Structure 1
Amino acid sequence: MNSSRINSRGYVLKWGRCEAYAAVYPTVPDWVLNFSPLPSLSSPHRNLSAFPAAQSEHLQQKMSENGALPLRGKVLTVDTMNANVKKVDYAVRGPIVQRAVQIEKELKEGVKKPFEEVIKANIGDAHAMGQRPITFFRQVIALCTYPQLLDDNKFPEDAKNRARRILQSCGGNSIGAYTTSQGIDCVRHDVASYIQRRDGGIPSDPDNIYLTTGASDGIVTILKLLTAGEGRTRTGVMISIPQYPLYSASIAELGAVQINYYLNEEKCWSLDISELQRSLHAAREHCNPRVLCIINPGNPTGQVQSRQCIEDVIRFAAKENLFLMADEVYQDNVYAEGCEFHSFKKVLFEMGPEYSSKVELASFHSTSKCYMGECGFRGGYMEVINMDPEVKAQLTKLVSVRLCPPAPGQALMDLVVNSPQPGEPSYQTFMKERTAVLSALAEKAKLTEEILNTVPGISCNPVQGAMYSFPRITLPERAINEAKAKGQAPDMFYCMKLLEESGICLVPGSGFGQREGTYHFRMTILPPTDKLKIMLNKLKEFHQKFTQQYS
């Protein structure tokens, strides 16, 4: 509306946010004019809360009598929003990464920096770091997405057979249709067969398999089922420190209680049962510990749990009546000599009925890590063991609320668990690509450890598995004091300076949790080998310069 009107003082009242005043008052009273620095009442002074209370109430009443909508503040504000959401923190995409994105834009705009590109080593996103997709996986996904390609002789027959089987299990033979909430039936059967092969013949029931939107979705869903109570009866969730921030963020969002147990950095980030016991005992003073979360191989610490350690954890969970959550998304990422991946389910059943019939377990896998690195497809699964049938029915109901996981992600998960076999046309190429990816990661894991340990003030444990190193850094007292004066964690201060001066994007250890008085950063080992060497050498130079500057 472009109309305006003149009040008794000759000021123009523009229709818009002020038209409500004009509708109520043909002549605007002095207290309105005194409140707003006119001549233009369309200026920003619009907040009724600034009016004297009696006059504000009078104005609201007049507006209501004249049929005008009363002026109100926003329904959703920081003060009225869900308080749990404000507690959520996710360092992997936090302030450092946001600044890195800004710097990338500045570089594109021609702003001069001491570097030519930002190297993002903050997140386990393999393809973003240049890893090539596995050919067979993309061939089948292409066929599923565009079935007309099934008539094209460029595609191998085993890829076509996989695509036909998946499409036949989809509504209307289309990957664009909703699937059942628990996931495509043939994919769940393939997942169960894969688990049975992986675990040496221990049976897996497809009805215990739930396909998920990445492993994260399954983890949050199980935590939702477990979160209950108020005050001292609130659910406590035991998580390793350092931890992957998905856990702390989800616990905060759900209103559960985070229970920290510390990994032993001096023993290559190993897990001590005595530390679990200490943590549990202390937590029982203020909450009800019900869940124990394990990440194996570890994120951000890169350790691989021994079989003995897994047995000890299972005994502890059985004794203390804890629900076990095993995050096993890095199960193919094992590099160190003498290390081997053992699934919690396999160890559980090999320990005999005393444990296998009692301990409740949910284990998780994903298409995003290992040799696949297909993060964007958001494919994953979880297997639940010994879950109460009535609770399982509630789980099925809960996942049905979101209809289904993305069908392309489900299809990709099927290919991970049903990859080319000896004698099939794609087998040799598939094995060559898979081996190349894992061999390169093993080489980069060793390279990262070796170079970082040549830097005075940096110590790095062996990267036994997963995709990350979590080195400890010694910071000068002056740097620590300056960081605190700025209201920053010292390792955040360090990582921000590293980004600004070297273009290297890492995540401070404070975003994952660490023992008081220690400082770390997490970096991925995913960049191509030549770029990783450049990054590690720049990091070395920066640390020496930083130490000298603040010593």
Structure 2
Amino acid sequence: MLLEERLSHLPRICKRIYRPIQALTHLMSTDAIQRAWQIVDQIPGRATGAYSHSQGVKGLRDTIAAGIEERDGFPANPDDIFMTDGASPAVHNMMQLLIRSENDGILCPIPQYPLYSASIDLHGGFLVPYYLDEATGWGLEIPELKKQLEAAKSKGINVRALVVINPGNPTGQVLGEENQRDIVEFCKQEGLVLLADEVYQENVYVPEKKFHSFKKVSRSMGYGENDITLVSFQSVSKGYHGECGKRGGYMEVTGFSAEVREQIYKVASVNLCSNISGQILASLVMSPPKVGDESYESFNAEKENILESLARRAKTLEDAFNKLEGVTCNKAEGAMYLFPQIRLSQKAIKAAGDANTAPDNFYCKRLLNATGVVVVPGSGFGQVPGTWHFRCTILPPEEKIPAIVTRLTEFHEKFMDEFRD
């Protein structure tokens, strides 16, 4: 349909919004214009101010399901997609559904993104911690899962789900496929819901690692739709796009009974629907330009430039941390963070106690006041007792990284000298 014909079918306010497209067609690729009209046609009333279906616009969920199917090589059902205002509300929704009382527990990684501990507390559940193994690059070990599961059961805790963050936040590791198979098998045997936080799936920086969704892994093991209960979370806030303020995301829910699915839908319906702009972005994240599209080359060049830059920033910071006295840092395989361990002197630990704060927080506040560089103490994420860490992002502009390294290095040397035992 020609532009003028399309405009003639739109309400007057929509004509004012879309009229500029006519003047800008020479600046836009044909596939971008076609995609825009396709999206407009899918939205109720052709306006982003309208409510949608509580799970999200059907056409956008179709697009996301097609993107999942292309990524994994296994079928995806748009009816399994629940659009949310970022991944966080999806996590809250699942915790609300899973937790019935303070005796219901959720296995959660330590260190972990505090959304999970906060959500478990909010809904009155019990966090069952399992410790990632720093010595093996923050590995997720099955014996540790079994140990913590049995310990929780001995306390009368009914463990209902396992949270896995892959790639990891704050630890930056990427799970190997064999490890993922073991995790799937563990959840199957123990009857646990697998909550797969996969929001950093595009952020993998080392050639020896590759992202595999837990759905793909479980299907490749021969487990079908009803053999394992799995919830996968995705967001527009991460990846190479980083549109965190747009609040777009979704969860793919598979393996639940019809009765449970009905309850998931009821919870989703409480807020009527997620915002339409976020829904649109989520569909675009899962259906980027393809080879042959007019915009593909420019899109792919920008995407690769961003990811390659993030990889360089991660390696520069990783190397810098490992040169500091008393600091060790595992390889940043993915996500957007490093989580180095810092060995503090007894003098520094005592000074922190005198200041009524944790030793890693003491270090981080001193760093902030001296340099303006913000890192987050590991005590905010959880860590093995007696160890101290901090989380550092790789997000500052690449040209500013050398100056940050210089400030960090100078501060650290002075701090270590000041608090040397």
* Bin of the TM-score, shorter chain as denominator length: over 0.9
**Structure 1 residue 145: deviation in Å?**
10
- The one-character-per-residue Cα deviations of 1:505-548 (angstroms, maximum 9, x if unpaired) are 11000000000110000010111122112112211111111111
User: What is the match of residue 191 of structure 1?
Assistant: 64
Aligned counterpart in structure 2 of residue 314 of structure 1, from 177, 180, 184: 184
**Structure 1 residue 148: deviation in Å?**
2.3
- The one-character-per-residue Cα deviations of 1:431-481 (angstroms, maximum 9, x if unpaired) are 110010011011111111111111111111000000000000011111111
Aligned counterpart in structure 1 of residue 79 of structure 2, from 207, 225, 228: 207
The secondary structure found in structure 2 opposite 1:175 is: coil
Q: How do 1:199-348 and structure 2 match up within 5 A?
A: 199-200=72-73, 202-230=74-102, 234-286=103-155, 287-348=157-218
Query: Does structure 1 conserve the Cα–Cα contact (< 8 Å) formed by 2:360 and 2:388?
Result: yes
Comparing 176-185 and 146-155, the one that deviates more: 146-155
Aligned counterpart in structure 1 of residue 306 of structure 2, from 407, 424, 437: 437
Cα RMSD, aligned residues only: 1.4
Q: How do 1:21-420 and structure 2 match up within 5 A?
A: 146-152=17-23, 153=25, 154-200=27-73, 202-230=74-102, 234-286=103-155, 287-353=157-223, 357-420=226-289
Query: Does structure 1 conserve the Cα–Cα contact (< 8 Å) formed by 2:80 and 2:252?
Result: yes
**Structure 1 residue 497: deviation in Å?**
0.7
User: What is the match of residue 352 of structure 2?
Assistant: 483
Comparing 463-472 and 162-171, the one that deviates more: 162-171
User: What is the match of residue 85 of structure 1?
Assistant: none
The secondary structure found in structure 2 opposite 1:291 is: strand
Query: Does structure 2 conserve the Cα–Cα contact (< 8 Å) formed by 1:328 and 1:365?
Result: yes
The secondary structure found in structure 1 opposite 2:93 is: helix
Comparing 266-275 and 443-452, the one that deviates more: 443-452
Query: Does structure 1 conserve the Cα–Cα contact (< 8 Å) formed by 2:86 and 2:250?
Result: yes
Aligned counterpart in structure 1 of residue 328 of structure 2, from 459, 463, 468: 459
Aligned counterpart in structure 2 of residue 498 of structure 1, from 367, 383, 389: 367
**Structure 1 residue 155: deviation in Å?**
2.4
**Distance in 2, Cα, partners of 1:461 & 1:336:** 13
**Distance in 2, Cα, partners of 1:431 & 1:423:** 12
User: What amino acid sits opposite 2:78 in the alignment?
Assistant: P
- The one-character-per-residue Cα deviations of 1:21-55 (angstroms, maximum 9, x if unpaired) are xxxxxxxxxxxxxxxxxxxxxxxxxxxxxxxxxxx
Show structure 1 runs of 5+ residues with no match. 1-142
**Structure 1 residue 224: deviation in Å?**
0.9
Comparing 150-159 and 383-392, the one that deviates more: 150-159
Residues 166 and 356 of structure 1: CA distance in aligned 2, closer, same or farther (over 3 Å): closer
Residues 347 and 144 of structure 1: CA distance in aligned 2, closer, same or farther (over 3 Å): farther
Query: Does structure 1 conserve the Cα–Cα contact (< 8 Å) formed by 2:101 and 2:124?
Result: no
User: What is the match of residue 54 of structure 1?
Assistant: none
Residues 336 and 144 of structure 1: CA distance in aligned 2, closer, same or farther (over 3 Å): farther
Query: Does structure 1 conserve the Cα–Cα contact (< 8 Å) formed by 2:106 and 2:162?
Result: yes
**Structure 1 residue 485: deviation in Å?**
2.2
**Distance in 2, Cα, partners of 1:356 & 1:314:** 14
**Structure 1 residue 402: deviation in Å?**
0.5
Query: Does structure 1 conserve the Cα–Cα contact (< 8 Å) formed by 2:87 and 2:250?
Result: yes
Residues 342 and 491 of structure 1: CA distance in aligned 2, closer, same or farther (over 3 Å): same
User: What is the match of residue 4 of structure 2?
Assistant: none
**Structure 1 residue 390: deviation in Å?**
1.2
User: What amino acid sits opposite 1:217 in the alignment?
Assistant: P
**Structure 1 residue 339: deviation in Å?**
0.6
**Structure 1 residue 165: deviation in Å?**
1.5
User: What amino acid sits opposite 1:327 in the alignment?
Assistant: D
**Distance in 1, Cα, partners of 2:412 & 2:154:** 42
Residues 347 and 356 of structure 1: CA distance in aligned 2, closer, same or farther (over 3 Å): farther
Query: Does structure 2 conserve the Cα–Cα contact (< 8 Å) formed by 1:327 and 1:364?
Result: yes
Query: Does structure 1 conserve the Cα–Cα contact (< 8 Å) formed by 2:226 and 2:256?
Result: no
User: What amino acid sits opposite 1:168 in the alignment?
Assistant: D
**Structure 1 residue 144: deviation in Å?**
11
Paired positions, count: 404
Show structure 2 runs of 5+ residues with no match. 1-13
